Amino acid sequence: MIFNIPYIAVAALILLGLYALIFKRNLIKMVIGITLIESGVNLFLITLGYRKESIAPIYTSSPGGVMAFPVPQALTLTSIVIGVAVIALMLSLVMHIYRHYGTLDVRKVRRLKE
């Protein structure tokens, strides 16, 4: 049971993120929602590579024993880097939106009609 906690955390993070993305009216909170989903997915990748009592996968100075699988960690690093770029772009767009509309409320940011 104890080993399932990371997976529960993954589900909780992704659902919280989706909730924030769908129901929150503030643009910054939507950005936070995306960040939460991203953390959830990253945690999922890391958890997949972990084995019971494993150590960090550094081959040159390994004391022996089970090592965590390194590939998911590499994937996560890439995903984090991409995530930073996305979040930075989103926040800069939020800044521009605030400059044009004077508000961060999604209900008022709608010059694009149907």
Partner 1 sequence: MNVPDYTVALVVAVPLLGAFLTPLVGRINDKLRNIFVIIVLALNAFLVFLLASDVLTTGIKTYVFGAKDLTYPIVRILFEVDAMSIFMAIISSILVTVAVIYSWSFMKENTGLDKYYSLILLLTAGMLGMVLTGDMFNFFVFLEISSIASCALIAFWTNKGESVEAGFKYIVISAMGALFVLFAIALLYGQYNALNIALLSSVIQYTFLDKIALVLLIVALAMKAGIVPMHMWLPDSYGSAPSSISIILVSATLASLYGVFRVIFTLYGNVLSKIANFGIPVNVFIGWLIVALAVISILIGVIMALIQTDFKRLIAYGAVAELGYMFLGIGTGIVALGTAYGKTALDGGIFHIMNDALDVGLLFLVAGAIYYATKETSLDKLGGLARNMKYTTVFFIIGFLAVAGMPPLNGFASKLLIYESTFQLNPILAIVAILCSILLLAVFVKVFYSAFMGPQLPKFKDVKEVPKSMLFSMGIIACIIVIFGLFPEFIINNLVEPAANALIGYSEYISQVVVGGI
Binding site for partner 1 (CB under 8 A): 14, 21, 27, 30, 34, 37-38, 41, 44-45, 48, 70-72, 75, 78-79, 82, 85-86, 89-90, 93-94, 96-97, 100-101, 109-112, 114
Single-letter code of the amino acid located at 22: I
- How near is the Cβ of 17 to partner 1 at its closest, in Å? 9
The structure tokens 């010059």 sit at 111
Q: Nearer to partner 1 by C-beta: 9 or 94?
A: 94
Answer whether 13's CB lies under 8 Å from 6's CB.
no
- How near is the Cβ of 89 to partner 1 at its closest, in Å? 6
- How near is the Cβ of 41 to partner 1 at its closest, in Å? 5
Q: Count how many Cα atoms sit within 13 Å of the Cα of residue 8 in the half-sphere of its side chain.
A: 5
Q: Nearer to partner 1 by C-beta: 25 or 96?
A: 96
Give the C-alpha separation, 33 to 106, whole Å: 14
Give the C-alpha separation, 91 to 85, whole Å: 10
